[in-house]
Amino acid sequence: MNYSTKTYIKSIFLPLLLAILFAAQNEFFNLWLDIYSKTYSTRLFLAAFALGIILYGPALLFNRSFKFIYLFIISFLVSFIFSAQFLYYRYSQSFLQFSAIKYFGQTQGVAGTVGILVTPELLLFAANFVIVAVSFILSYRFLSKKRENNAEAILPNWEKLILILAMALIVFFGYKYLLDTEKKEWGSTSRLYTDVYDLKALVGKMGIMNFFLEDTFKYILRSNLVADADINFLKTFARNRTQLSQDKKGKYFGTAKGKNIIIIQVESLENAVINKTINGQAITPNLNQLASEGIYFNNFYSQTGPGNTADAEFTTMTSLYPLPDDVVFINYAKNQYKALPQLLKNNGYGTYSFHGDVPTFWNRSNIYPGLGYQKAYNLDDFVVTRSVGKGPSDLGDEDLFFQSLPRLESLKKPFLATVITMSSHTPFILPADLQTLKIPAETNLTFEQQQYLQSIHYADKAIGEFIDGLKNAGLYDNSMIFIWGDHGSYTNISSALGQDKNTISELAGSQVPLIILGAGENGIIGAPGSQLDVYPTITNFLGIQTPKTVLGQDLFNPETSKETHFRVISGGIDAILTENLAYRANNDGVFDHGFCELWPSKEILPISDCKDIYKKQSEEVKASNIIIRGNLLNLLNN
Ligand code: GP9
Ligand code: MN
């Protein structure tokens, strides 16, 4: 071997070793935290190796002292991020996001818990640092010997060029493999960046370091989304709002003071199925019964955007609009919110959530503490007695409710408990014996619609059993229960079941029921409302002052009787509904091209008649978007 080949191999050796170690660290990270999936193993290794080359590769291009300074810095960062992510995940079952770095260590108890969480696994994440340190010492010795004959050589330019090309190829193919396999599986690569919802799967595929880098880039790119003009707009918006009375004590104020609040957010529950029959059988007999015993809002709408279930949680718990183009739970998890659970916690409530999915789904484990949930029961806390459904997890709604009950019984009172169901999740596949609706072979319903009805019928059964359980446990009388659908089923079930077409008929799929039990009254309310209005409605019942940060209105005490409105998100204002006006946007989104009608008579009005509500609604949505993108909720308080 001639001298130059030796130098060549030697200089490649260290960065290459570090890049391979880096890929292995990514694999072991997933393995040890139970994120590992065999299916993703190769793409994970290649994508992580590609990143390893990006990180350590440049060392080849520097002379000795720069090389070691560079390697020390990178190794330190790599070891630090790996260890922080590892500890954070073991502590909170979520991944550390760049937006949250400033909170790391402040997170309740983390600092104190770090000691318990530290385990030998962390040594692997420090191995790169050790390797760099050892090679530095070795090379130092070696160098001092060689110095006499001035033997330290750095690579000539043409060799550097070959190396750069080789590295670029590795990087290119590593990421290409990730994108190609993703595309093969899902038809598109968007789940790797824009349509991210399952963070565990994402880290499973690309590794924690690629995830962290991507998240950081996204954070940096969006941190200038809010311009000075936006901040001024928000300040003016806030100033004008303070004229609204925030502490009005209206109907039902304080009538449920000190009662437990139990929320049941039902997956894909559309209003269209309530009080409907199929082949003589009620589709939702239990919900029908509850709707007649309680207060039933039958003109109530979901506001969800790309975050689906998570957006419904977000909007109901914060009374802000979800973003049209981003999932708030994922990308704005560490904002300051003044969420309902937090407010109730401050008022002496225990705050709990029950949902049968992994805690990383929709990044819940990262955002829940900030929303004020004290404890979130997740898939790990339930036993799947039988596998139900083909949704994100197979915990059946009966298991969810049945196993939540004894926990509710043992909780300190009063509490807020949010139970989120899942069995009626698309593709609505249930085991045959749980499909108990008899749907005739001759039907105008599509297969998907039939399956939807079967699964919503099953969810309804589970809810009925839960309500009975609450009664038997003596919890029913001390609680107010709020039931709503998170969003529609996207199956066109409303038209299949012959639901009246209204002006905004294409939004019928966003109409979800809201049923309120424990108000001491019953009745059907047709005034429009949306998920945005849940928060102030609950605080009013509890006699707790509604914070100024709430954008919705108490459903029973709207600011003026004509101002309850809603909006469905698809990038702009789709529709607005007040007690006497309906506005629907044209597809082009231009206000003047939209439709304005008297509601509910459907008499067509000149578009200018809807101008005021459009302006008001647009400003509110704009303010909400700015608040979230700029983490500026505090401006509403001023
Ligand atoms: C799973 C469930 C997902 O956690 O919430 O529902 P989705 O957001 O897909 O409607
Ligand atoms: Mn959902």
For residue range 51-69, list pLDDT tens digits in order.
999 999 999 888 888 999 9
Closest CA to 244 of 550, 566, 577, 576: 550
The catalytic position among 181, 284, 309, 578 is 309
- The CB of 311 under 6 Å from ligand 1? The reply is no
* Nearest CA, atom 6, ligand 1: 309
Question: What's the pTM value of the predicted model, to 2 decimals?
Answer: 0.87
Single-letter residue type at 184: K
Q: CA-CA distances (angstroms) from residue 155 to 3, 63, 64, 152, 159?
A: 11, 9, 11, 10, 6
* Confidence (pLDDT) at 150: 46
- The alpha carbon of 269 and the centre of ligand 1 are apart by a number of angstroms equal to 13
CATH code 3.40.720.10 region(s) in the chain? 266-552
pLDDT band at 9 (very low <50, low <70, confident <90, very high): confident
Q: Give kind and range of the element (H or E) at residue 350.
A: strand 350-355
Angle at 78 between CA 74 and CA 80, to 5 degrees: 115
- The alpha carbon of 308 and the centre of ligand 2 are apart by a number of angstroms equal to 5
Q: Is 255 helix (H, G, I), strand (E, B) or coil?
A: coil
* Confidence (pLDDT) at 505: 53
- The CB of 389 under 6 Å from ligand 1? The reply is no
Work out the percent of the chain whose per-residue pLDDT is above 90.
67
* Confidence (pLDDT) at 351: 98
- Strands 514-517 and 295-297 come out as antiparallel
How many C-beta atoms lie closer than 10 Å to residue 630's C-beta? Answer: 20
- The alpha carbon of 435 and the centre of ligand 2 are apart by a number of angstroms equal to 20
Decide if 470 contacts 479 (C-beta within 8 A): yes
**Residues facing residue 355 across a β-bridge:** 420
Select the highest-mean-pLDDT range: 140-149, 256-265, 521-530.
256-265
Pocket test for ligand 1, best of 200, 425, 510 (most atoms within 8 A of CB): 425
pLDDT higher than 80, residue 107: no
- The CB of 364 under 6 Å from ligand 1? The reply is no
- The CB of 309 under 6 Å from ligand 1? The reply is yes
* Confidence (pLDDT) at 502: 57
**What is the Cα–Cα distance from 354 to 340, expressed in whole angstroms?**
16
- The CB of 357 under 6 Å from ligand 1? The reply is yes
Q: CA gyration radius for the chain?
A: 28
Token pair 């909007």 is at which residue?
A: 315
pLDDT band at 151 (very low <50, low <70, confident <90, very high): very low
Alpha helices in 93-190 (DSSP H): 110-117, 121-147, 157-186
The CATH T-level fold of domain 266-552 is Alkaline Phosphatase, subunit A (3.40.720)
- 565 among the known binding-site residues? no
Known catalytic membership, residue 5 = no
Tell me 101's DSSP state.
Answer: G
Average pLDDT over residues 26-52: 96
Q: Give kind and range of the element (H or E) at residue 353.
A: strand 350-355
Size (the chain), residues: 638
- The CB of 529 under 6 Å from ligand 1? The reply is no
Alpha helices in 187-307 (DSSP H): 199-206, 208-222, 228-241, 285-293
- 425 among the known binding-site residues? yes
Closest CA to 575 of 509, 476, 491: 509
- 267 among the known binding-site residues? yes
- 316 among the known binding-site residues? no
Pocket test for ligand 1, best of 195, 268, 357, 490 (most atoms within 8 A of CB): 357
Closest CA to 609 of 626, 623, 594, 630: 594
Pocket test for ligand 1, best of 93, 199, 267, 428 (most atoms within 8 A of CB): 267
For the CA of 422, the closest atom of ligand 1 is 2
Decide if 226 contacts 630 (C-beta within 8 A): yes
Decide if 414 contacts 260 (C-beta within 8 A): yes
Average pLDDT over residues 258-270: 97
- 486 among the known binding-site residues? yes
Tell me 38's DSSP state.
Answer: G
Q: Give kind and range of the element (H or E) at residue 342.
A: helix 340-346
Q: Residue 207: which region, alpha, beta or left (left: phi > 0; alpha: psi -120 to 50)? A: left
Sequence-distant (≥ 6) Cβ neighbours of residue 505 within 8 angstroms: 495
Buried b / exposed e along 314-323 (16+ C-beta atoms within 10 A): bbbbbbbbbb
For 348-369, write each residue's pLDDT tens digit.
Answer: 999 999 999 999 999 999 999 9
* Confidence (pLDDT) at 570: 47
pLDDT band at 119 (very low <50, low <70, confident <90, very high): confident
- The alpha carbon of 394 and the centre of ligand 1 are apart by a number of angstroms equal to 12
**What is the Cα–Cα distance from 7 to 596, expressed in whole angstroms?**
77
pLDDT higher than 50, residue 380: yes
